[in-house]
Amino acid sequence: MSNSIINISIEEINQQKIYAQQVKAIEKVHSSYHVVTYGCQMNEHDSQKISGMLEHMGFTMAEDRTKADIVIFNTCCIRENANRRALGNIIWLKETKKKRPHMLIGVCGCMMEQKGMAEKILKQYPFIDFALGTGNLYKLPEILYNVIAGDIRCIRVSENQSTLVEGLPLVRPTREKAYISIMQGCNNFCSYCIVPYVRGRERSRKSADILKEAEALLKDGVKEIMLLGQNVNSYGKGTGDMTFPELLRALDIIGVPRIRFMTSHPKDLSPELIEEYAKSKGLCGHLHLPVQSGSDRVLELMNRGYDRESYKHKVMELRKAVPDIGITSDIIVAFPTETDEDFEQTLQLVKEIRYDSAFTFVYSPRAGTKAYNMKGKIPKEIATERIERLIAIQENITKEVLKEQLGKTCNVLVEGVSRRDETMLTGKNERNISVNFTANNKNLVGEIVKVKITDFGSNTLRGIGV
């Protein structure tokens, strides 16, 4: 796998535009599409680009995948059950295609970047028409042209995922919020993680391109921008461009009302970034900071690059800078050789940090990672008992955190009507907690409003607009 960064040329992008026009001009029975997305926000953003390219080719979105003429599965391979779930849904569509033989089925995303997976998929499932990797998404027009006009099955997966493509069209599901991908890839090689192998090495976009995209979004009425990257803290390293805190400052200067980002690696959380939290007007008071384990021994086996004390110190510094900041995390239990003592250290850290919430997982072995061949697999019954204990403790902490918000006033970006109560509006506050609230004016979608918190549920807040 190459470490070099490849910026796709204007000529190559223009060639794809020609293919898009050719697809649009074909007299065909295909007119609608549906994209099924698995995994992280980066995959969601990729799916928005897939939708944008498809609409640029003249297709319209179908709400029901069984009635769409083109169905694309954008897959995730971070855990084994993600693979199984995606494959199960793809196979399920086989029967639909028997009834609608003109339907085209494609598979893309991280799962296709696993060595030999794309070839295996097309060989094992002959009803699938095309497969492409994360570094080849921009070639979707060319692929569809070959599939539709040439009536051939296509694979486009490159061993070099280090591509940066500017200017792809996209479809945003909401007007008030938007993603901006600022970098791709990861250099950390945590022993359990497949991401560096399927997303490639770290490469950062030019800050000028990011700021230009942000300015366009602001003109379109966007109030909140989430910056995406496998490790946003590494943005700009080795490029001679801005550092991540400098980029945040630049976004603040151009007037982005709310700024969020995902995901942040604890070892790269710098004092400059913490300082930016204290100074920034737009940076929301929330940080997702995956700890994964509270045991130094396990953290070393995971190749995380920090210990529990350095992690705790950074959280303390963050809370000094922004006392009301919400911290969330990812935690893995039952990593190979994890002892009862290791697990108790994780529980203790969770009690000390007091996360707003946490995504908790039982370790999932991934072929191709260093941990895959580690000895000391934890029996299922022990893993289940540990994850249940962790969830119970975190749920109790979450309840206490939510209770502490009673009587406080927060800023909520209104996203729409609450699904549970049509008389209420809903949105996220600065801490990224969902808030359902009553308001006299129902035409507030896309606005940032003040809400006084009066009640709470299991993972949401309720209040009154003020």
Q: Is residue 277 part of a domain?
A: yes
CA 374 to chain centre: 28
Domain contains 352: yes
What pLDDT is recorded for position 150? 84
For 104, list phi and psi in degrees, rounded to 5.
-105, 135
In this structure, the answer to whether residues 206 and 313 fall within a common structural domain is: yes
Q: Please report whether residue 259 resides in a domain.
A: yes
Residue 447: other Cβ atoms inside 10 A: 15
**Residue 163: predicted pLDDT:** 65
> 363, 422, 372: which is closest to 390 by C-alpha?
363
- Cα(266)–Cα(315) distance, rounded to whole angstroms? 9
Q: With contact defined as beta carbons under 8 Å apart, do 412 and 451 qualify?
A: yes
Same domain, 370 and 300: yes
Q: Which of 17-26, 83-92, 367-376 is predicted least confidently?
A: 83-92
Show which of 163, 190, 213 is a domain's final residue: 163
| Residues near 112 by beta carbon (within 8 Å), at least 6 away in sequence | 75, 118, 121, 131, 132, 133, 134, 157
Domain count within the chain: 3
Rounded to an integer, what distance in angstroms lies between the CA atom of residue 209 and that of residue 215?
10
Residue 454 is predicted with a pLDDT of: 98
Distance from chain centroid for Cα 459: 20
Q: What does each C-alpha distance from 284 to 223, 313, 342 come to in angstroms?
A: 12, 21, 33
Q: Give residue 161's pLDDT.
A: 53
**pLDDT band, very low/low/confident/very high, at 176 (cuts 50, 70, 90):** very high
7 CB-contact burial (10 Å; exposed 0-12 / middle 13-18 / buried 19+): middle
- For residues 289 and 392, state if they share a domain: yes
368 and 430 assigned to the same domain: no
Task: Tell me the residue range of the domain where 390 lies.
Answer: 166-403
> 94 in helix, strand or coil?
helix
Q: How confident is the model at residue 159 (pLDDT cuts 50, 70, 90)?
A: low
Identify the band that residue 2 occupies on the pLDDT scale cut at 50, 70 and 90: very low
Sheet order of strands, 357-362 included: 286-288, 326-333, 357-362
Domain boundary at 362, 382, 403, which? 403
pLDDT at 67: 92
pLDDT bin (cut points 50, 70, 90) of residue 157 is confident
Helices then strands, each counted (H, E), the chain: 13, 21
**Distances 235 to 183, 277, 284, 321 between C-alpha atoms, Å:** 6, 17, 19, 22
Query: What pLDDT sits at residue 350?
Result: 98
* End-to-end alpha carbon distance in the chain: 55
Mean pLDDT of the chain, nearest integer: 92
Q: Are residues 288 and 346 in the same domain?
A: yes
What's the confidence (pLDDT) of residue 388? 98
Return the structure tokens found at 233.
């803290």
Q: What is the pLDDT of residue 239?
A: 73
Average pLDDT over residues 85-97: 88
Question: What pLDDT digit, counting tens, does each position of 343-359 carry?
Answer: 999 999 999 999 999 99
Quick check: is 1 in a domain? no
User: In this predicted structure, what is the pLDDT of residue 5?
Assistant: 46
In contact, 247 and 235? CB cutoff 8 Å:
yes
Last residue of a domain, one of 385, 403, 421: 403
Longest CA pairwise span in the chain (Å): 66
Identity of the amino acid at 145: Y
Look at residue 190 and tell me if it is in a domain: yes
Check: CB of residue 170 under 8 Å from CB of residue 48.
yes
Residue 450 within a domain: yes
Task: Let me know whether 293 and 418 are in one domain.
Answer: no
Q: What pLDDT score does 1 carry? A: 36
> Can you read off the two tokens belonging to residue 403?
């209770």
Give alpha helix (H) positions in 220-372: 244-253, 271-279, 296-302, 308-321, 340-353
Task: CATH number of the domain at 440, please.
Answer: 2.40.50
Is residue 157 domain-shared with residue 170, that is, in the same domain? Answer: no
194-205 confidence digits (pLDDT tens):
888 888 888 899
> Domain of 95: which CATH number?
3.40.50.12160
Q: Specify whether 155 is located in the same domain as 32.
A: yes
Question: Which one, of 190, 195, 186, lies nearest residue 302 by Cα?
Answer: 190
237 and 220, same domain (yes or no)? yes
Determine which helix (DSSP H) or strand (DSSP E) holds 413, and give its type and residue range. strand 409-417
What is the structure's pLDDT at 302? 98
In whole angstroms, what is the distance from residue 174 CA to residue 221 CA?
Answer: 10
Most confident of 22-36, 166-180, 283-297: 283-297
382 and 422 both lie in a single domain: no
State which amino acid sits at residue 259: I
User: pLDDT band at residue 114, thresholds of 50, 70 and 90?
Assistant: confident
pLDDT for the residue 326: 98
Look at 23 and 166; give whichever has higher pLDDT. Answer: 23
| Residues whose CB is less than 8 angstroms from the CB of residue 117 and which lie 6 or more positions away in sequence, other chains included | 111
pLDDT band at 158 (very low <50, low <70, confident <90, very high): low
CA distances from 343 to 103, 340, 346, 358 (A): 49, 5, 5, 16
| Dist. CA 303–CA 452, nearest whole Å | 43
Average pLDDT over residues 304-323: 97
Confidence of residue 122 (pLDDT cuts 50, 70, 90): confident
Residue 427: inside a domain: yes
Say whether both 172 and 157 belong to one domain: no
Structure tokens at 217: 């979004």
Indicate whether 186 belongs to any domain: yes
pLDDT at position 3 over 70: no
Residue 326 is part of a domain; what is its CATH number? 3.80.30.20
Examine the domain organization and report whether 226 and 308 are in the same domain: yes
Cα angle 367, 372, 377; round to 5: 135
Q: Is the peptide bond before 263 cis (omega within 30 degrees of 0)?
A: yes
pLDDT of 229 reads 92
pLDDT of 225 strictly over 90: yes
